[in-house]
Amino acid sequence: MPSYFSNFEGHRDCGIKSTQLYEPPIPLDENVPKHTLYCNNRATLLDAMSGGGRHGFEKPYFPAGCHYRWYSTPEICMILERFDAVVFIGDDSLKQIYAAFNMLLRENMAMGSLKQWELNESQRDACRCDNQLSKSECSSHMVTESQGIREKDDGDAHRSPFYCDRTPHVFLPIADSPAPEELHAKFTSLISGDLDAYKPIPIIHSLSLATSLSWSKAIDSMDEWITLADASGRNIPILWVGPNAAGHLKPPGQVLTQGNNALWHYTLETMREAKARQLDALGMYNLTLQANSWDGSNYGQKVGLVQAMMIFNWLSRVEST
């Protein structure tokens, strides 16, 4: 684990060490098999990842009760091979997680979330590391689907392909419910594209700050995408992802409506509604509570990489039937 990022482009420039993000479990009793310290099913995994904490500001995040895994890139590829596609549907907070998802799959911390072919040399210099997330002029160039990397990453000196790319994945941006019809059409096309397809197509779904933490909009959005998924007849497991905690830079005028009290109650209510609909649910409040945010709502690479790895942990436990 200490050298996890050694093969990643930009690992020195970005200054992130794997030990800053994750510490594997250590048996207190040498007679206890190490594998028993990891969560043994999907439900306990989600509870553990949602309910943990940090032992100090910006310290590695510890799940509660049992541990999640930090998968190698080849292991991540094996996980993705179990699916016909993976779909992210959400607002900007989920887009940050999808950005880190691409960084891990491209083994590129410097600009792994970006469409590098759209950037000139000056932009490439300015959009490295955390800047690809925190600067609007950089984040506007974020990858939103895997197909673009295959088609546009043309083999020049800035080539940054996926380590593995047999499983397509896409981010569908929503800010309300119902979503635009063109997103419905894109989703329907993706899940019905191959008549011989039989593997699951997981959805990672989130909606929070874009609707000013409207509980009713979140519920409507869940029902909207459940209806579309059910109509397909495909095996489409859905994970609801809760919002981040409010960072210490949250503007004073937003603390009442988007501060930690509001975010915590939104997390609890939407997770309850998700579970009532037999969806899985993952809270991000505890993970981000003692992490550094650049604007009070969004977090950098350190948090994003952990969140993306949590998504891969969930995917590793999704049933194939």
Buried b / exposed e over 110-129, threshold 16 CB at 10 Å, is bbbbbbbbebeeebeeebbb
Count of Cβ atoms closer than 10 Å to residue 130 Cβ: 20
Distance CA 162, CA 142 (A): 15
The strand pairing partners of 238, in sequence order, are 203
Confidence of residue 252 (pLDDT cuts 50, 70, 90): confident
Buried b / exposed e over 189-203, threshold 16 CB at 10 Å, is ebbeeeeeeeebbbb
Confidence of residue 137 (pLDDT cuts 50, 70, 90): very high
- Among 25-39, 232-246, 262-276, which stretch is predicted with the lowest mean pLDDT? 25-39
Count of Cβ atoms closer than 10 Å to residue 173 Cβ: 18
CA dihedral of 305, 214, 139, 126, whole degrees rounded to 10: -80
**pLDDT tens profile 175-215:** 999 999 999 999 999 888 665 678 999 999 999 999 999 99
Asked whether the predicted pLDDT for residue 152 surpasses 90, the reply is no
The gap from C-alpha 4 to its chain's centroid, in whole angstroms, comes to 19
Q: Which tokens is 136 given? A: 């609007």
CA distance from start to end of the chain: 32
Sheet of 280-284, strand order: 169-173, 86-90, 203-205, 238-244, 280-284
Q: What is the pLDDT of residue 51?
A: 97
Phi-psi region of 94 (alpha: psi -120 to 50; beta: other; left: phi over 0): alpha
Phi, psi of 240 (to 5 degrees): -90, 130
Q: Which residues contact 235 (CB under 8 A, 6 or more apart)?
A: 199, 200, 201, 320, 321
Asked whether the predicted pLDDT for residue 11 surpasses 70, the reply is yes
The structure's pTM equals 0.95
Distance CA 76, CA 217 (A): 33
Choices 3.90.1150.10, 3.30.450.40, 3.40.50.1110, 1.20.1640.10: CATH for 4-317: 3.40.50.1110
**236, 191 in Cβ contact below 8 A?**
yes
Distance CA 258, CA 267 (A): 12
Higher per-residue pLDDT: 46 or 248? 46
Domain borders along the chain are 4-317
**308, 101 in Cβ contact below 8 A?**
yes
The strand pairing partners of 9, in sequence order, are 108
